[in-house]
Amino acid sequence: MINKVEICGVNTAELPVLTNEQMRTLFQRMRQGDQEARQQLVQGNLRLVLSVIQRFNHRGEPVDDLFQVGCIGLMKAIDNFDLDQNVRFSTYAVPMIIGEIRRYLRDNTPIRVSRSLRDVAYKALQVRDQLTHRHGREPTLEEIARELGLPREEVVHALDAIQDPVSLFEPIYQDGGDPIYVVDQVSDDKQRDEQWLESIAVREAMSRLDEREQLIITKRFYQGKTQMEVANEIGISQAQVSRLEKAALQRMRKYM
């Protein structure tokens, strides 16, 4: 759907591209109240919206809806852009378009978040955009909380609450081979329990060995030493170490 020529009745193949000089002229005209100039700025930057909505293609949302929401972000960026700042319009507009789309997606999330938390989160996002525009950099959480007059923990909690849910089978990395999914990075408490029980069993099996066998197994498999190193340390031949090690492992396996 992203590659379709027409979105919301707009023929994407015929969208104009504005030069930097044309952009500056149109912004100056818009400052003077020229609404036609504003419309030309919107039309001339719709390709920005198209490039942004491709990032959200995996969400399964209708492209027409994302495009319309992205256009709202674009118009906000046009209305708030300051020509006196030494920043390209695209640099300023893209985060605002992304933010508008993310807000739309959060409002439509299946996970319900309380109105008060959502209000705090949206205020924090607005303050973040304002501070970014004011200082030309991404603000810290402490700066956002200070601007809102709220504890940092409350801002963090609110922002966490509106995070988009992620599928366990969403790929997070792929480099020409099999992809790695979110589920591959999730710990398994059951597996931890099994490992814990196995370690207990190994210790119990070790306790059934004599002192020299325990010493050999410890040096070989816990300290990572070679049979020759173990032989030199305990004063026997490598062949003896090998024989004792095999016998000890067989007894441990039988017990386990």
Instruction: Report the predicted TM-score, pTM, of the whole model to 2 decimal places.
Output: 0.44
Contact 55, 73 (CB under 8 A): no
**Three-class SS of residue 84?**
coil
Pairing of strands 171-173, 10-11: unpaired
Q: Is the pLDDT score of 5 beyond 60? A: no
Contact 170, 58 (CB under 8 A): yes
Return the closest-CA partner of residue 157 out of 143, 146, 141, 140.
Answer: 141
pLDDT band at 223 (very low <50, low <70, confident <90, very high): confident
pLDDT band at 36 (very low <50, low <70, confident <90, very high): very high
- In this predicted model, what pLDDT tens digit does every residue of 87-128 receive, in sequence order? 888 888 888 899 888 888 877 665 566 677 778 888 888 899
Instruction: Report the distance separating Cα 87 and Cα 85, nearest Å.
Output: 6
Q: Which residues, in sequence order, are CB contacts of 219 under 8 Å at separation 6+?
A: 225, 229, 230, 233
pLDDT band at 84 (very low <50, low <70, confident <90, very high): confident
Domains and CATH numbers, the chain: 1-93 (no CATH), 109-164 (1.10.10.10), 189-255 (1.10.10.10)
pLDDT band at 1 (very low <50, low <70, confident <90, very high): very low
Contact 102, 137 (CB under 8 A): no
- In this predicted model, what pLDDT tens digit does every residue of 151-203 receive, in sequence order? 988 888 888 777 766 666 666 655 555 666 665 555 555 555 556 556 777 78
φ/ψ of 8, rounded to 5, equals: 55, 35
φ/ψ of 173, rounded to 5, equals: -160, 140
